[in-house]
Every structure is written in C-alpha cells, then in structure tokens.
Amino acid sequence: MLAKNDLGSMTWVEAEKALKLDPVVLLPVGTLEQNGPHCPLGTDTFIADYFTREVARQTDSLVLPAIPYGCSQAFRSFAGTVWLTAGTLQAVVQDVARALAHHGCHRFMVVNNHGPNQYPVEQAVREVMTTAKIRVISVWPSQVLHRMALEMYREEPGVIGHGGEPMTSVMMALRGEDVRTDLVPDGVQKLSPVGNFQVGNSTQSWFRGHPLQFYLDVREVTGTGQTGDARRASAQKGKALLEKAVAWGIGLVEEFKRMEVK
C-alpha cells in the first residue's frame, strides 16, 4: 500500500519507495479556456484532476501534478483563454513519460480532458514507447461523463454540449462557488451554420450530408462560447455522474494493473 498518492507531496526518498511498488502513474491534463459565460476557465483541469485523484486514491496509484494548459486555439477570442501549441504539449508529455520510465514506471495513464490535446498526447507516448518498457492509456473524463449523461437526458439530447450539460452540473458539484448561475444563457445554444456548412464543433462540419474538417474559431459560430443548455444543471446530477465515472475509472485502472508489460 502506498503511504501517499500525490507524487508532488513526496520527498525523493518517499517517491523511491513508492515507485518500487510499480504502481500505475496518472497524469491529469486540462486547459485554461472558456466554458461558456458561467463556468470557470479551469473547468477541464478541475474535472481531470478530481477524476485522477479519486481513482488513484481508490486503486493505490500515483498522481502527478496536473498540466493546466492545452491546445485551446479555437477559443482564443474569449478572454482568459491560454493555449499551447501541439508541439509544446507533445514535448512536455513526452518528457514526463520518459522521466517516469527512467524511474521504473511500467504503466502510465494520461487523464486528458480536452479533445484537441489527444493527438499530441498520442504522439508523445508513442515516441516514448519505442524505447521504454511501458504501457500507456489515455482517458477523456468529460467524454465518459457525456456518454453517461445521454441516459440522464435521453428525452432532451440538446442540453448536452460545451459549457452546457453535463459539464455545468459536474462543476456545480465540484466548485459550485465558481459557477455563475446568473450568467447561464437562456435557452438551448446551438452552433450557427457557416454558409452552407453545418457545424458540429470547432473542427467537425458537414457539407451536403458528408463530414469534413473545417477549422473555425468558436466565436464564429456561438457568441456565448456555449452549446447545449445549462439551465437543467444541478449539483445533485453532477455528484451522481462523478460517482459513476469514478467507479468506471477504478475498474479501468484495476484492469490495467493486470496487463502484462511488453
């Protein structure tokens, strides 16, 4: 059993003992970006960090300090958003993974909570895996929460979106004091078409029924930065979803522990 789960709070002596136990090591990766007018800029990081720490605590795993910035260029026109280039994020994750492998880590889990971070994270860990004896998986907590919320909002799928649900409920459960319910937009927020292109998000669009990548600034298609509807949010819903997601994450890590390391 680990005496502590947080690597950042350990001395090197404590870290040496912990790593000799060959635990799974988890790295939360988030963003500092707009999440609608009512949710805090650190939403992605807060969710990733909470999920990581709860899962680690209940699986005897190690947690690294979160990387609080990501590839948020699509939101750059909203105040407070800070973004890294893909190359910068890839280099940081790659160096972190390489350092862990050097210290004997064999199972590394990236808890990345932002879609555009996925490609640089993948490139980073695949590069490390070419020379190190390490297995790596990546989990996107908000994607898991969204899928779980589909059942909750089966009759109202339009409430789910960036800055809508389930993000607002989850943030009300985690950091209710930072959620500005007085700024929640009225009604379902939808992305506006651009010419004859139907827009799904800042990357995904459709033309005459077929998908393509159309790279847009989110401000072009939503003035609030939000999609979905946050008016149905509640801390109770958020708490229930978080408990369900963490339980899933615990099962995932326990299964990951059993995998042979090549």
Instruction: Tell me the mean pLDDT in the region 104-128.
Output: 97
Instruction: Tell me the mean pLDDT in the region 188-213.
Output: 93
pLDDT number for residue 122: 98
Residue 109, pLDDT above cutoff 90: yes
Share of the chain above pLDDT 70, in %: 100
Residue 110, pLDDT above cutoff 80: yes
Would you place residue 157 in the very low, low, confident or very high pLDDT band (cuts 50, 70, 90)? confident
pLDDT number for residue 252: 98
| Boundaries of every domain in the chain | 12-157+241-257
Residue 262, pLDDT above cutoff 80: no
Q: CA 19: distance to chain centroid?
A: 25
Q: For residue 74, what are its two tokens? A: 């699509």
Q: What are phi and psi of 200, to 5 degrees?
A: -100, -40
Would you place residue 188 in the very low, low, confident or very high pLDDT band (cuts 50, 70, 90)? confident
Write down the mean pLDDT value for the chain: 96
pLDDT number for residue 253: 98
Instruction: Tell me the mean pLDDT in the region 30-40.
Output: 98
Instruction: Tell me the mean pLDDT in the region 3-10.
Output: 96
Instruction: Tell me the mean pLDDT in the region 125-145.
Output: 97
Would you place residue 138 in the very low, low, confident or very high pLDDT band (cuts 50, 70, 90)? very high
Q: Does domain 12-157+241-257 have CATH number 3.20.20.80?
A: no
Spatial distance between the Cα atoms of 23 and 6, rounded to a whole number of angstroms: 12
Instruction: Tell me the mean pLDDT in the region 80-91.
Output: 98
pLDDT number for residue 42: 98
Residue 155, pLDDT above cutoff 90: no
